[in-house]
Amino acid sequence: MKNKVLKIIGGFLLVVVLLLIATPFFLKGKIADIIRNKVNNSINASFDFSDADLTLFSSFPYARVTMKDITLINRAPFEGDTLFAAKGVSLNMSVKELLKDASEPIILKSLKVDGGRLNIKVDKEENANYDITLADDGDQEVVSTDSSGEFTLSLESYEINDAIINYGDASSGIYLTIDEMDHKGKGDLSLDTSELDTETSGRVSFMMDSTQYLNRNPVKLKALIGVDLNESKYTFLKNEALVNQLPLVFEGFVKLNEDNQEVAISFKTPSSDFKNFLAVIPEVYSKNIENVTTTGNFTVAGEFKGIVDDLHIPKFKIDINSDNASFKYPDLPKSVRNVFIDTEISNTTGITEDTFVDIRRLSFMIDEDKFNMVAKIRDLMGNTKVDAQMDGRMNLANISKAYPVPSGMDLKGILNADIATAFDMASIERKEYEKTKTKGTMQLKDFEYKSDEIPNPIILQSTAVSFNPTTVSLTELKGKTGSTDFDATGTIDNLLGFMFNNEKVEGRFNLHSNTFSIADFMVPDTDEVSKDGGKSTSNSPAPSAEKIKIPSFLDCIINASANTVVYDNLRLKDVKGTLAIKDEKATLSNMSSSLFNGKLALNGEVSTKGETPTFAMDLGMSNFSIAETFNGLEMFRTLAPIAKVLHGAMNTEVHISGNLKDDFTPNLLTITGNILAELMTSKIDAKDAPLLSALDSKLNFLDLENLNLKDLKTDLNFENGVVKVKPFTINYKDFAIDVAGSHSFDETLNYMATIQVPAKYLGKDINQLLTRINESSLEELTIPVTANIGGLYNNPKITTDLTTGVKNITAQLVEIEKQKLINKGKDKAKDVIGDILAKNQKATDSTKKENAEKVKDVLGGLFGGGAKQTDSVSKKDSVGTGSKEAQKEAQKDAAKKILGGIFGKKKEAEETKKDSVN
């Protein structure tokens, strides 16, 4: 019998185990559908999850349903926004809940949420994205408390791990974030009255009206809350909170009514130890307060009481007090003593705008230095009105000796201040600064400031500021940084607007410096991107790039003068001018300086607003040393590389624009503009210029060191890395050289020089021809020679047409000499024949016949001589011209024609004479 019973029990247990194993497989899909449908039928949003799992063993006698990757997506007017998301949610419930019909409510016993993200939004029209309950519009079924669309909570415990809650109310300007939040509670919420025991921790950030009040401040809360579901009242029974490291205990209740909420809560510090004050300071500044020695007291006490609705907040009063307290950090040499705090933060009407702060006293001492302040701040949430006064003397170096200031903040100097101010924010927002009342003085001596944003400490030797109702007068500011010294005075027109209204600093200043070095304001670019695309790390080599950034908050005019300005390798002397800074752009006007033994006039602008700084400048350069200019300025060496061999001075007008590199030198590949230059020089070092040496070797008649460049004017423009030179003329002795062409910034040449060379410079052969011809008109004879210049400046390629020109002019001179000889023979024959003919008029017939033979002999001698000369020059030329007999016959015919012409003319003359006599 006993064995039979054991078998029955064993069989039953086996069936139970099999059911526990098999049930999740049968119910898994059903449970997922039930949960998905129930939630979606209850809300005006879309609820979903990637997977659902059912477990009976680990949670027995309860069933555990686990959902992964949960999302709750809003519908209009927040279409597509994620209201809630979580990595996982676990629900524990009775096994019998799994067997319920979909129309029956499910009772949950425990809940756990991992990695939850809750994003609550309220827009400017006060629509809330958490209002997702289905509305009763008459067309939809009203969801009752026992309908199929609800869960019934009978939680014994719940837990939320690593959650983030974001709350943003655009209508009120309130933004709250709780991150790293862990929260757990236990209690029986199925009862009408119960107690909920909770623990909460997290980091809180709170901002209102663009003012950050809390920034990830740590908060811890242990609260035993009495829950009365009938009255919707939650009472704080036993509670302890820790804000930063400030402990608070509080009591009271919150009651949720249909139209508003009632609040009655009081709180206070559980002790009066002055360490409580240090706990209010953010942890990064307070540093290890457990080891701080304190005397005196510090208390915080307050209460909130009233209703919360659309128009009201609870009335409240918070008192903060300390009386003759002190504290000393163990690792620091000095203490802060005689600390008095008497401050009240209150609202007596329940209207938000009526909140005020009354600092009746705030004072402390370090050594014998004392600081005092009193202030009244009214209408804190409306048109804030401030009436404050502060005075005192402080050795700033003692601050770091008494208080653990942030690393790298090493202050030095003596501060004396006595300032009173009264203003309202509405006037400041309307820029009605004349309605503010600020007066007093502030002096700062031997102040030293260090920062990673500047390469050298800034030392203010003496500073004096006086406050007037509408302006701040900088009566003295003397200091230095690196090798730069400065002495400034001026006025600031809107200091309150800069401090409270995010306005730019507007003012006018006078600045003088003996030495002003641009390098003193250049810092390494710590955000330099590494070659692999990532940011440089602390283990990476220090970046070499340096940048200058024009401050965006400046809107001022500076009348500047400096004895010396050091820029890159340049030293500008006697610098004067006006600098206007606005919108990250510096505009220079009427700037003048001495540089390279000449005078520089400059107007233009530099902008660092974009990712790449830009510039546009007009420069007037008078009597500049050519050699120093082109050796000292990379830009000019690139624009005119040959100019560095010139000695003398020049006048230049430059119009140029382009991008700047990080060190504020021009990026030559981006510049455009033009230059008009007038040279005043008398000497050239041709040996130092490969181009001129190559020209010398190609053109023997040209000695480039004797070029006359005095008063030479050139005009060139440049763009896209190419410099184009407009045609210009250089005088050399008694002829001119015309030059035109271009070169690129890599010194690739493309020029042409055209020279009208007088024939006398082309060698002794041509000079001998000119001497034999002996014609004065030939002294002006020239030949055009073209030199094409290519290659690189340091390795030029030069071609000329000089050889062809010399051949052409030689042929011309030979022809001129030949014609001159022929004309000379004709003139001689003419003279002889004329003499014979004159005698022939008086001679007898026999004499005339003799004279004719003489003429014949003369002509025969002339042409015969010519024939013999021609034959003697080249026998080969006789071929094709006939025999000597034929030549003689031709000469006779030619003589007859000449004689016929002569005598014919004489006969015509005699007949004309007869006719005139008749």
Q: Which SS3 state, helix, strand or coil, does residue 129 take?
A: coil
Residue 129's closest CA among 166, 175, 77, 165? 77
Low-confidence winner among 137-141, 192-196, 260-264 (lowest mean pLDDT) = 137-141
For residues 146 and 787, the model is more confident at 787
pLDDT exceeds 80 at position 555:
yes
Coil/strand/helix, residue 127 = coil
- pLDDT value at position 384? 87
**Residue 145 reports pLDDT greater than 50:** no
The four Cα atoms 154, 160, 163, 168 give a dihedral, to 10 degrees, of 30
Asked whether the beta carbons of 599 and 592 are under 8 A apart, the reply is yes
Q: How far apart are CA 161 and CA 159, in angstroms?
A: 7
Is residue 52 within 8 A of residue 25, CB to CB? The reply is: no
For position 570, what pLDDT does the model report? Answer: 79
The CA distance from 41 to 83, in Å, is 17
CA 682 remoteness from chain centre: 46
Please state which of the ranges 385-389, 715-719, 772-776 shows the lowest mean pLDDT: 772-776
Query: Is pLDDT of 562 > 90?
Result: yes
Q: How confident is the model at residue 917 (pLDDT cuts 50, 70, 90)?
A: very low
Residues in the chain: 918
More confident residue, 723 or 703: 723
3-state helix, strand, coil in the chain (%, to 5): 25, 50, 25
Q: Which residue has the tokens 């130890």?
A: 273
pLDDT of 546 reads 55
Could you tell me which residue, 843 or 130, shows the higher pLDDT? 130
Task: Round to whole Å and give the CA distance between 178 and 822.
Answer: 118
pLDDT above 80 for 60: no
Mean pLDDT: which of 36-45, 92-101, 470-479, 480-489 is highest?
A: 480-489
For the segment 834-845, the average pLDDT, to the nearest whole number, is 56
Cis peptide before 690 (omega within 30 of 0): no
Q: For residue 208, give both structure tokens.
A: 């209102």
pLDDT at residue 449, rounded to an integer: 77
**Averaged confidence pLDDT in the chain:** 77
Among 483, 433, 476, residue whose Cα is nearest residue 456: 483
- What DSSP state is assigned to residue 367? T
What's the rounded mean pLDDT across residues 119-138? Answer: 79
Tens of pLDDT, residues 387-441: 999 999 999 889 888 988 776 667 789 999 999 999 888 888 787 877 888 889 9
Which tokens is 179 given? Answer: 């991150």
In percent, how much of the chain has pLDDT > 70? 72
Looking at residue 18, its pLDDT comes to 43
Q: What is the pLDDT of residues 613-658, one digit of tens each?
A: 999 999 898 888 877 787 777 777 777 777 766 777 888 888 999 9
The whole-number average pLDDT for the span 180-202 is: 88
For residue 178, the tally of other CB atoms under 10 A from its CB is 21
Predicted confidence band at 98 (pLDDT cuts at 50, 70, 90)?
low
Express each pLDDT in 811-830 by its tens digit.
766 766 666 666 666 666 56
Residue type, 9: I
pLDDT at 220 exceeding the cut of 80:
yes
906 confidence band (pLDDT: 50, 70, 90) = very low
What per-residue confidence (pLDDT) applies to 627? 75
pLDDT at 847: 58
> What ranges in 416-532 are assigned the alpha helix state H?
425-429, 495-500
Work out the average pLDDT over 553-569. Answer: 87
Tell me which of 794 and 371 has the higher pLDDT.
371
Residue 9 has pLDDT above 50, yes or no: no
Tokens of 815: 């022809």
Question: Could you read off the pLDDT of 305-358 as tens digits, one per residue?
Answer: 999 887 888 999 999 999 999 999 888 999 999 999 999 999 999 988 889 999
Higher-pLDDT residue of 539, 456: 456
* Of 760 and 505, the one with more pLDDT: 505
For residue 445, what pLDDT is reported?
92
Contact 148, 42 (CB under 8 A): no
- Which is more confident, 572 or 429? 572
Confidence of residue 836 (pLDDT cuts 50, 70, 90): low
Backbone torsion region of residue 210, taken as left when φ is above 0, otherwise alpha when ψ lies between -120 and 50, otherwise beta: left
User: Would you place residue 366 in the very low, low, confident or very high pLDDT band (cuts 50, 70, 90)?
Assistant: very high
pLDDT at 759 over 90: no
Share of residues in the chain with pLDDT > 90 (%): 24
Element housing 398 (H / E): helix 397-402
User: Which pLDDT does position 710 carry in this prediction?
Assistant: 73
Mean pLDDT of the region 2-12? 46
State the pLDDT at residue 551.
78
What pLDDT shows up at residue 411?
A: 79
User: What is the distance between the alpha carbons of residues 596 and 575, in angstroms, rounded to a whole number?
Assistant: 13
Higher pLDDT, 706 or 581: 581
Q: Given this model, what pLDDT does residue 226 score?
A: 92
Cα–Cα nearest to 343, from 356, 326, 361: 361
Q: How many whole angstroms separate alpha carbon 712 and alpha carbon 706?
A: 14
Place of tokens 């009271």: 252
Per-residue pLDDT, averaged over 152-159, amounts to 74
pLDDT score recorded for residue 881: 42
Contact 110, 156 (CB under 8 A): yes
Contacts by residues 617-621 (CB-CB < 8 Å, ≥ 24 positions apart): 617/654, 617/655, 617/656, 617/657, 618/653, 618/654, 618/655, 619/652, 619/653, 619/654, 619/656, 620/652, 620/653, 620/654, 621/595, 621/650, 621/651, 621/652, 621/653, 621/654
